Structure 1
Amino acid sequence: MDELDLAWDEDERPRRRRHAAGSARSRKKGRGGRTFLAFFLCLVVVGGLALGAYAGIDRIKGLFNAPDYNGGGTGQVTVEVLSGQLAADIGNTLQQKDVVKSAKAFVEAAKNDQRSLKLQPGFYSLRKQMKASMALSLMLDPKSRLVNKVTLAEGLTYQDTFKKLSEATKIPYEDFEKAAQDPKALGVGEVWYTRTDGKQRAPGIEGFLFPATYDLPPNLDATGILKLIVARFNQEIDKIGFIDAVTNTLHISPFEALVGASIAQVEGLDKDQPGIVRVLYNRVYSKKFPCNCLQVDSTVNYYLRITGKGAKPSTELLQSELHNKNDPYNTHDVAGMPIGPISNPGTSALTAAAGPPKSDYMYFMAINQAGDTAFAKTWPEFEELQKQAKANGVK
């Protein structure tokens, strides 16, 4: 039985093995097809996920990497940067002008370049479709800034000032003359239209064209430029405390003090201007000088200048010029300050006019070629100064 059984076993096992083997092959063949299909589908799914992931990453990158142009741009476009603007504000302007692809790209460029802190207000000549970092670099190049730079020196007359402005901007001289006819519209306040001495006030812009170096935007006309200059004058006056000082301490009108400053500006060096102003005030307001007249030649020369005759050395001025009754700036025969300023004074002269030192000096004179001024209380002392000046070659 055991043998039969073994025999059967032996007899049956091969069949079972073959069947089993056959079943295994059948299963393997079927599983392989399914496995290939599953593998293929897996590849499709994984590939799709990878493609989707790549697209998603690209979108995410787009959220963090600001869109930007690659090149240096083409053409030309003018962009204005306003005072107080932040990098984002400037970037928005650049994007609107199609200089940069996005404001964010410019902000990132500004963050990465410390020089951006030195970016100044003004107009800039740029190109369209620039890489943000290149646009920033171009804006930091002084050559890209569109300005008409002009320096107005202390002591210029309004005529000299208009000529310089016209040369710098190519705006006709006559446009500045026309714009200056209404000083109030340019920013000259009402406080400058009264005098305490009852004298007539000159109606012009003289005295209010503050001497400084200006970067004039290219889009300003004559009126805009004069407004800018008068605004600078007002800033300086406020800084000095000019109006309060002359009103409350000197008890004269700001306009009269401005006239004094304008005379001191052309009469002496910065260091001597406080003393010169004191002499002017002593002559006019102390009641101790003949006729309370200034008796300075600079006012005579001013009238000669604005009437086209040209200034002269004091030794060459004619008696008819010194005592010209038709000259509204005659200070040899007419008491008090003249009707208006004779120049545009700078900070030094304005400061001197607002707070000159107290003294009894009634005379002053340049005593050498360097322009140093000496002071005297009496006529005999002044005559000694004249001798000293003559010995030093002063005319």
Structure 2
Amino acid sequence: MTKKHSIIAAAIVTLALIVAISYWQLRQFADSPLAIGQETLFTLPAGTGRVALEAKLEQDNIIKPAIWFGALLKMEPELAKFKAGTYRLEKGMTVRQMLALLASGKEAQFPLRFVEGTRLQEWLAALRAAPYIKHTLTDDQFTTLAQALKLEKTDQLEGWFYPDTYLYTANTTDVALLKRAQQKMATLVDDIWQSKAADLPYKTPNELVTMASIIEKETAVNDERSKVASVFINRLRLGMRLQTDPTVIYGMGEKYNGNLTRKDLETPSEYNTYIISGLPPGPIAMPGKASLDAAAHPLKTNYLYFVADGKGGHTFTTNLASHNRAVQAYRQVLKEKNEQ
């Protein structure tokens, strides 16, 4: 072999060695863990290119500065198809796994829990406090929300959002989340209304939802819901007033301070069922499915009264004398608890 050929061969070997080392280093970079010690949310703005992405990742201390980022995207072009959004980066995730996630478009999802028995005002407050929500409602007035949801009347709001845990991605609007809950409730109520028991004293689905909301506020015990429904249905059929405290409390609004007095029960309001006959004008909270089912399929009983038993449930009775004894028993339980 001539000297010239030897030099060329050495150069080829050297070049091959450099390529091999570079490829190995590139693979090492791709498989290296991110520079994060805990779960991290990373937001990739729309229109971000390769150079800007690398700069942002370094600026946010997600990857360490290296010369291999651009080369990796060129060698594996499927990783370069990243999409804007907010992503959840896990501890131990590699650079390649992160880029694959950004290319997948599988954004981080955030849970928002709307609880049974809470009011629309509480839902709106929860929305305002939730992270990564895009707020479009100018205020919490029912008229504003009705317009945003394109509803004709504000009486289609309270009680008409299904309580559940909703998952959303960053920049989901408050109205979009409420619309999901409202549509889910409307569909459920329609199904339940179509299959409800015969001869119930409801003229409209809104009356059924109103009854369900009262049941929701009166008991959290699933086995009792249909019994509570039977009490109120029996009272409606006999022309007796419902006399349920939660309706009075709802009608008091911000005046309610946690204590319900006799004066409160005697103060007129359109929701005070100690004074008005029949159902109040609308729901007083967001009922869950169990309460809606109970309102549509009440147990057939002769119960006209119920009172807390001091043990987490209620005592149901058919006449005033028995009810008064149950009330005394409840007061005795409370007295004994206070003396302990």
What TM-score do you get using the length of structure 1 for normalisation? 0.57
Contact preservation (8 Å) 2:213, 2:284: yes
Out of 317, 321, 328, the residue aligned to residue 380 of structure 1 is 321
| Matching residue of 1:163 | 125
* 1:187/1:231 contact within 8 Å kept: no
Find the counterpart in structure 1 of residue 163 from structure 2: 211
Q: 2:193 aligns with which of 243, 268, 278?
A: 243
Amino acid at match of 1:101: P
Corresponding residue of 2:262: 318
One-letter code of the match for 1:278? S
Matches within 5 A, 1:129-278: 134-136=98-100, 145-169=107-131, 175=138, 177-178=140-141, 181=144, 183=146, 186=149, 203=155, 205-237=157-189, 241-246=191-196, 250=200, 252=202, 253-268=204-219, 269-278=221-230
The one of 324, 332, 348 equivalent to 2:290 is: 348
Separation (CA, whole Å) in 2 of partners of 1:323 and 1:282: 23
- Relative to 1, partners in 2 of residues 1:354 and 1:184: Cα closer, same or farther, differing over 3 Å? farther
Cα deviation, residue 165, structure 1: 1.4
Q: Which has the higher contact order (CA 8 A, sep 6+)?
A: 2
**Other structure's SS at 1:159 match:** helix
Structure 2, unmatched stretches of 5+, are: 1-28, 35-41, 47-72
**Greater percentage in helix:** 1
Q: Is the 8 A contact 2:115 2:164 kept in 1?
A: yes
Q: Structure 2: how far apart are the matches of 1:179 and 1:132?
A: 48
> Could you say if the C-alpha distance between residues 187 and 359 of structure 1 is closer, same or farther in structure 2, counting changes exceeding 3 Å?
farther
Q: Could you list the per-position Cα deviations for residues 170-221 of structure 1 after superposition, in whole angstroms to 9, with x for gaps in the alignment?
A: 6669646247645486376x9xx8xxxxxxxx72511012211112332222
Residue 272 of structure 1, CA deviation = 0.8
State the 1:124 CA deviation: 4.5
Stretches of structure 1 that go unaligned for 5 or more consecutive residues are 1-69, 80-97, 107-121, 194-201
1:309 is aligned to 2:256 = yes
Percent identity over the alignment is 22
CA shift, 1:157, in A, is 1.1
| 8 Å CA contact 2:162, 2:182 repeated in 1 | yes
Partners of 1:126 and 1:368 lie apart in 2 by 46
Tell me what 1:294 maps to: 242
The count of aligned residue pairs is: 265
Q: CA deviation at 1:259?
A: 0.6
Q: Residue 132 and residue 307 in structure 1: after superposition, are their counterparts in 2 closer, same or farther (change >3 A)?
A: same
Task: Tell me: CA distance 1:384–1:148, structure 2 relative to 1, closer, same or farther (3 Å).
Answer: same
CA RMSD, 1 decimal: 4.0
- SS of equivalent residue, structure 1 residue 146: coil
CA contact (8 A) 1:155 1:344 kept: yes
Residues 137 and 146 (structure 1 numbering): CA distance in 2 closer, same or farther, change over 3 Å? closer
TM-score by length of 2: 0.65
Task: Check whether the contact 2:113–2:164 (CA below 8 A) recurs between aligned residues.
Answer: yes
Query: Do the aligned partners of residues 176 and 347 (structure 1) sit closer, same or farther apart at CA in structure 2, a change above 3 Å counting?
Result: farther
d(CA) in 1 for partners of 2:108, 2:115 = 22
Residue 5 (structure 2) aligns with = none
Q: Among residues 218, 227, 231, which one is paired with 1:279 in the alignment?
A: 231
